[in-house]
């Protein structure tokens, strides 16, 4: 769903007609701010699968190695690492680097053979990917998955990353009704928003089709008695 579609739905629920304010109108911009508030609230409510991105698809962040350089800029929407960093050579061979918590890095001060990466920085100054051991070839491809900050709305064509944008619409609707002093209608809209948030949380935890959602009992599969025996 785009921002324009969300604004149209929000207006119908609020005003009961299709006369959506122009994009430069104060009402439109206030509603955008409420939709963005909802996005920020949603972002804090869980570890959303839809917020896992890759360096390859990011709009910025250093994506290739430089010989003798161990520090590389992370994407601006970077929040935390997910899994292994990989460096791919010209023949497609990958070298894997495990993520190491920064408090353990000092244990490897004199280690020149282990491969890992760690993160330094913060949201204000940006994050840096530190690779150990240091790449010795220029131009190799770097890739990794990372958990990103949610994108907010700045244009009518921007799309929501949440699976059910009606959470944001009903959240914004609740704020509009509250501003009008319509407490009962605001409460009802907020209840509707929270119900949609609960469904998103539940769906976020469900394994994909044809994926197991239990701990494999390898001993049982090999003919043993398994758990509980």
pLDDT, tens digit, 9 for 90 and up, residues 63-73: 999 999 999 99
pLDDT at position 97: 97
Asked if pLDDT for residue 174 goes beyond 70, the answer is: yes
CB-based burial of residue 125 (10 Å sphere; 0-12 exposed, 13-18 middle, 19+ buried)? Answer: exposed
The tokens of 4 are what?
């324009």
Distance CA(142)–CA(64), nearest Å, equals: 5
pLDDT at position 208: 60
**In percent, how much of the chain has pLDDT > 70?**
90
The tokens of 57 are what?
């698809």
């Amino acid at each position: 769903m785009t921002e324009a579609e969300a604004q149209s739905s929000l207006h119908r629920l609020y005003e009961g007609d299709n006369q959506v304010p122009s994009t430069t109108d104060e009402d439109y911009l206030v509603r955008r701010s409420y939709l963005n508030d909802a996005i920020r609230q949603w972002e804090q409510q869980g570890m959303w699968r839809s917020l896992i991105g890759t360096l390859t698809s990011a709009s910025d962040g250093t994506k290739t190695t430089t010989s003798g350089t161990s520090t590389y800029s992370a994407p601006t929407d970077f929040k935390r690492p997910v899994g292994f960093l990989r460096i791919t050579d010209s023949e497609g061979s990958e070298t894997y680097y495990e993520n190491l918590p920064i408090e353990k890095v000092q244990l490897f001060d004199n280690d020149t053979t282990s491969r890992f990466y760690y993160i330094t920085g913060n949201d204000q100054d940006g994050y840096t990917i530190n690779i150990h051991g240091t790449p010795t070839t220029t131009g190799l491809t770097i890739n990794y998955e990372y958990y990103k900050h949610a994108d907010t709305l700045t244009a009518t064509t921007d799309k929501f990353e949440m699976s059910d944008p009606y959470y944001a619409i009903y959240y914004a609707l609740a704020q509009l009704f509250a501003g009008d002093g319509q407490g009962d209608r605001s409460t009802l809209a907020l209840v509707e928003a929270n119900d949609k948030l609960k469904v998103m949380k539940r769906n976020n935890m469900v394994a994909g089709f044809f994926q197991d959602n239990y701990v494999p009992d390898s001993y049982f599969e090999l003919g043993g008695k398994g758990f509980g025996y």
